[in-house]
Structure 1
Amino acid sequence: MGTVENHLVKLLPRRERSRLFAVCETIRLEPGEVLCEPGKAITHAYFPLEASISLLALIDGSQGVEIAMVGREGMLGVQLVLGVTAASVHALVQSPGAALRITAAALRNELAHSPVLLRSMNHYLYVRMAQMATSAACLRFHLIGPRLARRLLMSQDRIHADSFHVTHEFLAAMLGVRREGITTAASALQRSGLIAYRRGNLTVLDRQGLEAAACGCYAAEREAYAALLC
């Protein structure tokens, strides 16, 4: 197996990548771990290597709805680029795995000394904003089935595996719908031969078919990322 890398870190020239590694620590993130909460100070930023993180908007004491995901393609804490030290979302670890962690102060110092890192972070900030805007429109206008297909593809992209553990309850919470709606949509995907699902273990059987079943938001997000960060 090749070395697992974060894409944003990989984009840096070797010297600047080494500087960043020197002020980071490698940690393991566990499912259900909360990394930041709205209104609270951001103490660390995270560059996932294997883990994936769900970003939730909390409204009126609700359990929230997912507005973005972070995996090895990105990072958590990008608002530090703007000098903002308070979190605006609830960040919940979805899938376990390794991540690089850096203190907010150390990241700000690296940004001040690395124009390349600053440019990458600015581009990623734009991509994150676009992802959140897309998610808001998707939540309002698209049906559960295409939204579920998009969500499963996003998970697969960040986990880099065809099989992963996810429950109907969790998907319902992330998409802001009733569990019954997820069950119906997942059953339809399974009957079409796109996925297999049993006792919380989901396997993508037909990636191309799942992309065809997803709403156009999935392709739009990938194109936005590729235009600036590939």
Structure 2
Amino acid sequence: MTVAYAMNRLLETLSSGDLKYLEPHLEQVELPRGMELAHQGEVLQSVYFPQTAIVSLVRDMANGQIVEMAAFGREGMVGLLFIGIPLNSVGRYLVQVPGTALRMDAGRMRKAAAARTGIQQMLLRYTELLMALTLQSTACNAAHSIEARCCRWIIASGDRTGRNDVPLTHEYLAEMLGVQRSSVSVVIKGLHDNGLIRQSRGKITILDRSRVEEAACECYPVLRAKYLQLLPLAQGEAEE
């Protein structure tokens, strides 16, 4: 394992041979907050394997509200190829937490999936994982409280970036949860006052991970278990 892959757990599930096959085509790039990787209906020309960045797939509603449909961090990839075929984006891919990612031309990724069984299997496993994440999030949004969902998002963001101090704003959390900013502010203040997190301008620091996990909804352990089931070779790091 080379240093370049140490922060993307999906790539870490590949064999050394498959990694070497991809290596000449991977380029590390900086993704600033607010960068749009693709518009709605557009096919991404590149795929991204986030390392410290978080990218959200969001949909702009007619009433001006922004709704998150999926989020991608170091556990996955942006620009999923379904059986090697690029998909038109059903929303906008928007960088929410700035950081680094490994970028690769989508056409080369298609050829790699066709040439290497291990890479194709990686894409299939991640397709199943992404479907599980999306379906569970739909149920979560309908059934669980704002506080529980907010705690899930905070702890998941820590997992995706590999950090306890995550650059999250109240506005961003409100958009991702589909609620009013004032509702998020009340929840964050309560978590701060009770010593679970520390909030500062543009950043939330997780102080007591176990208590934040306890306050999160049941979806967090369900999704974590699914992740470990489908990406078992990354299990060691996922249990840090």
Q: TM-score range by the shorter chain?
A: over 0.9
CA offsets 1:162-181 (integer angstroms, 9 cap, x no match): 11222111111111100110
Q: Distance in 2 between matches of 1:209 and 1:48?
A: 27
**Contact 2:31/2:98 (<8 A) preserved:** yes
User: SS of the residue aligned with 1:76?
Assistant: coil
Q: Gaps (5+ residues) in structure 2?
A: 233-240
User: Match of 2:156, as an amino acid?
Assistant: M
**Contact 1:50/1:98 (<8 A) preserved:** yes
Q: Distance in 2 between matches of 1:91 and 1:104?
A: 15
Q: Distance in 1 between matches of 2:164 and 2:152?
A: 14
**1:30-45 correspondence to structure 2 within 5 Å:** 30-45=32-47
User: Match of 1:105, as an amino acid?
Assistant: G
- For 1:197, the equivalent position in structure 2 comes to 199
**Structure-2-length-normalised TM-score:** 0.90
RMSD between aligned residues: 1.6
User: Match of 1:194, as an amino acid?
Assistant: L
Q: Distance in 2 between matches of 1:121 and 1:77?
A: 11
- For 1:90, the equivalent position in structure 2 comes to 92
User: SS of the residue aligned with 1:203?
Assistant: strand
Shift of 1:197: 0.8
User: SS of the residue aligned with 1:27?
Assistant: strand
Q: Distance in 2 between matches of 1:51 and 1:142?
A: 27
Q: Gaps (5+ residues) in structure 1?
A: none
CA offsets 1:181-215 (integer angstroms, 9 cap, x no match): 00111112122211111222211110000000000
**Contact 1:80/1:104 (<8 A) preserved:** no
**1:73 and 2:50 are equivalent in the alignment:** no
- For 1:124, the equivalent position in structure 2 comes to 126
Moved more, 91-100 or 122-131: 91-100
- For 1:170, the equivalent position in structure 2 comes to 172
Moved more, 90-99 or 114-123: 90-99
CA offsets 1:60-84 (integer angstroms, 9 cap, x no match): 3634212221111110111343524
Q: Distance in 2 between matches of 1:21 and 1:136?
A: 36
**Contact 1:51/1:72 (<8 A) preserved:** yes
Identity across aligned pairs (percent)?
A: 34
**Structure-1-length-normalised TM-score:** 0.94
Q: 1:82 to 1:117 in 2, by over 3 A?
A: closer
Q: Distance in 2 between matches of 1:135 and 1:222?
A: 13
User: SS of the residue aligned with 2:83?
Assistant: helix
User: Match of 2:151, as an amino acid?
Assistant: A
CA offsets 1:101-147 (integer angstroms, 9 cap, x no match): 11111010000011111111111111111111111111111110000
Q: Distance in 1 between matches of 2:189 and 2:137?
A: 23
Which consecutive segments of 4 or more residues in structure 1 shift more than 6 A? none
**1:48 and 2:58 are equivalent in the alignment:** no
User: SS of the residue aligned with 2:47?
Assistant: strand
- For 2:151, the equivalent position in structure 1 comes to 149
**Contact 1:80/1:108 (<8 A) preserved:** no
Shift of 1:48: 1.1
- For 1:209, the equivalent position in structure 2 comes to 211
